Amino acid sequence: MQNISFKIISIIFISFISHVNHAVSQGYNYDLSVADSLFEKGKYTESFKIYNAILETGEQLSPAMLLKMAYIKEGLGDQSNALYYLNQYYLKTSNKLVLNKMEALADSENLKGYTQKDVNILSHLFYENFNWIIFILSVFSFTFFGVSVYNKIKLKQAPYKSSLTLFVLLCSIFYLVNFSKLGNKGIIIKPGAFIMSGPSSGASLIDSPQKGHKITILGQEDVWLKISWEGKTSYIKSQFVKPLQF
C-alpha cells in the first residue's frame, strides 16, 4: 500500500514539474516571438527590453536574439554592449565569422582585446563543455568510490589504487569548480573606470580606459576585480565590467 501511494505521489509530482516547465517554455517562446515581431517592425527599443528580460531570466538563449541585441546597440552607438552581445553570440555558436566583425568594430574604436590572437580556442572549448567535464569526473568519482567500498568490504582488500584515484578525481573537481574559471574575460561597459595598482581607491592610478575594452579577469577582492591590463596585474571596480559568461 505504501509503495502504491509513493508511486502515485511521484507521478503527480513529475506531472506537476512537467506542466510548470511546459508553461515556462511557452511563456519564453511567446515573449521571444513578440520581441522578434517588434524588431521586424523597427521598434528596436521595445524589442530590446524584452530580449534583455529574457536574457536576465537565464532562459535558453537564442543566438539570433544575441545578434539582434548587438545590432540594436551598435545602431545606438553603444559599441561596448554591441561587442558584449557579439562575444556572447560567439561563445554560443563558435562562429568564427563574428570574430572578424568584432575585430573591425573594436579597431574603429581603438579598443583592446579583440584580435584573433586574443581568442584561445582550447580555453573556449573547455569552458563550453565545463559542465559535461564536471559531470564525467563526478561519474568516475562515484565509480571508484564504489570500487573502493567493494574491495574493502567484500574482498577484504586495502583499496589503495582505487582510493588514490578517487582522491585525485575529487581534487580535480574541487580545483576546476573553484579555480579554473579564473581568467574569464569581461568588457568595460561604463565610462569613468579607473585601473589601479591595488584594490583600493588610494592605490596608484594606472589608466583611465574608455568603455569597450575587453579584459582578462584573474579574480576578485571585495568590489575590485583583479585583472590583467597591458601585461600587468591591476584592479578595477566590478561595477564597470560585465563578465563574459561561458
pLDDT tens for residues 26-74? 555 788 899 999 999 999 999 999 999 888 876 566 889 999 999 999 9
Predicted local confidence at residue 245, as pLDDT? 67
Closest among 107, 118, 113 to 188, alpha carbons compared = 113
Query: What per-residue string of b and e applies to 184-196 under the rule 16 or more CB within 10 Å gives b?
Result: bbbbbbeeebbbb
**Higher per-residue confidence, 201 vs 91:** 201
Which amino acid does the sequence have at 244? L
CATH class of this structure's domain 185-243: mainly beta
Same fold, 2-119 and 185-243: no
Q: pLDDT tens digits for 68-127? A: 999 999 999 999 999 999 988 887 887 888 888 988 999 988 998 887 655 555 566 676
Task: Please identify which residue in the block is written with the cell numbers 563558435.
Answer: 94
Per the listing, cell 561587442 goes with 83
Residue 10 pLDDT > 80: no
**Those residues with Cβ within 8 angstroms of residue 140's Cβ, 6 or more apart along the chain or in another chain:** 169
CA atoms of 230 and 204, how far apart (whole Å): 16
pLDDT of 144: 84
Q: How far is CA 107 from its chain centroid?
A: 25
Where are the domains positioned within the chain? Answer: 2-119, 125-178, 185-243
Contact 73, 55 (CB under 8 A): no
- Supply the pTM of this predicted model: 0.64
Residue with cell 584561445: 120
Q: DSSP letters of 206-217?
A: EE-PPTT-EEEE
Q: Give the DSSP letter of residue 156.
A: -
Write out the DSSP string of 25-62. Answer: HHHHHHHHHHHHHHHHTT-HHHHHHHHHHHHHHTPPPP
- Residue 94 DSSP symbol: -
Which stretches within the chain are classed as H helix?
A: 2-40, 44-57, 63-75, 79-93, 97-108, 121-128, 130-153, 160-178
Q: Which CATH superfamily is domain 2-119 in?
A: Tetratricopeptide repeat domain (1.25.40.10)
